[in-house]
């Protein structure tokens, strides 16, 4: 696959904070439906790259492409309208709205913007659904595995469910790429597995490409189609999980192992 077939592509991203080079000519390629993991030690530059991809930070140099369009200068909402969605580590949930109603709001962002503002003023509007909307929301709730709790208020739910709502809201707007900022942080094993299953289904069934910035290395290596490793702002490896995992530079820099010098017994 050539670079132009990529959903999302970052070319030579450099970010300088004063004298500190947080990212140094970093490249990233995200194919349609791919699940790309972005890992690296603390301070490596992951969040900085995430901020550049999502439009929160303008890079010092380099270009971000979405479906072949240069989006480097576009703010986050303009990127979202072009199909680049993101999730937040601390989901913003509205008090007084159920889980289902949160998903309806996101769905109307895509399908019925004109009704959306009226619905926000008169919450009753969220309860009047068309058949097509009900079917879309039911399918999304099923995909998220939230059927048994969908009628509950969203505020106060366990973090694992809040993350699923967040992913559901991102998927409801019909994105081609979703950027996820440490989606597993604070979740227990069971919650992490539930989230991973939803992300896999979004990639496989809907062809949504995902970029995961993650501390949970096991999660990244088990579910990603490609893994990019950055260390001190430099991309040190990129490729299939098995190849990246056994890369000596990665083992040395990220997994805390001493590099093995050929010919020298360990």
Interface residues with ligand ATP (CB under 6 A)? 17, 20, 22, 40, 42-48
Closest separation in Å from C-beta 212 to ligand ATP: 13
Q: Which two tokens stand for residue 261?
A: 């010098």
Closest separation in Å from C-beta 89 to ligand ATP: 10
- Residues between 3 and 62 that touch Mg ion (CB under 5 A): 46-47
Q: Work out what residue 21 binds among ligand ATP, Mg ion, none; the CB cut-off runs from 5 to 8 Å by kind.
A: none
Q: Work out what residue 2 binds among Mg ion, ligand ATP, none; the CB cut-off runs from 5 to 8 Å by kind.
A: none
Q: Which of residues 63 and 89 has its CB atom nearest to ligand ATP in the complex? A: 89
Angstrom CA distances, 142 to 201, 232, 247, stand at: 11, 41, 39
Q: Which of residues 43 and 156 has its CB atom nearest to ligand ATP in the complex? A: 43
- The phi, psi pair for 229, rounded to 5°, reads -115, 125
Report how far residue 171's alpha carbon sits from residue 180's, in angstroms, rounded to the nearest whole number.
12
Q: Work out what residue 91 binds among ligand ATP, Mg ion, none; the CB cut-off runs from 5 to 8 Å by kind.
A: none
Closest separation in Å from C-beta 23 to Mg ion: 12
Q: Which of residues 13 and 99 has its CB atom nearest to ligand ATP in the complex? A: 13
Site residues, Mg ion (CB under 5 A): 46-47
């Amino acid at each position: 696959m050539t670079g132009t077939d990529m959903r999302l592509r970052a070319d030579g991203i450099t970010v300088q904070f004063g004298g500190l080079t947080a990212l140094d000519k970093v490249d990233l390629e995200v194919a349609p439906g791919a699940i790309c993991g972005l890992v690296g030690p603390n301070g490596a530059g992951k969040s900085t790259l995430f901020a550049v991809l999502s439009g929160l930070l303008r890079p010092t140099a380099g270009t971000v492409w979405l479906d072949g369009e240069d989006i480097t200068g576009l703010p986050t909402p303009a990127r979202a309208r072009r199909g680049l969605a993101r999730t937040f580590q601390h989901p913003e949930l509205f008090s007084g709205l159920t889980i289902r109603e949160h998903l309806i709001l996101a769905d109307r962002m895509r399908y019925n913007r004109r009704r959306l503002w009226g619905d926000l003023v008169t919450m009753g509007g969220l309860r009047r659904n068309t058949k097509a909307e009900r079917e879309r929301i039911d399918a999304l709730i099923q995909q998220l595995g939230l059927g048994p709790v969908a009628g509950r208020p969203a505020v106060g739910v366990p973090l694992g469910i809040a993350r699923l709502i967040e992913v559901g809201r991102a998927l409801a707007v019909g994105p081609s790429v979703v950027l996820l900022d440490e989606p597993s942080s604070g979740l227990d094993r069971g919650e992490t597995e539930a989230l991973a299953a939803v992300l896999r289904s979004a990639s496989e069934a809907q062809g949504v490409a995902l970029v995961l910035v993650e501390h949970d290395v096991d999660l990244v290596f088990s579910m990603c189609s490609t893994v990019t490793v950055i260390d001190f702002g430099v991309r040190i490896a990129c490729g299939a999980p098995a190849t990246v995992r056994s890369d000596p530079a990665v083992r040395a820099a990220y997994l805390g192992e001493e590099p093995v010098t050929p010919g020298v017994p360990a």
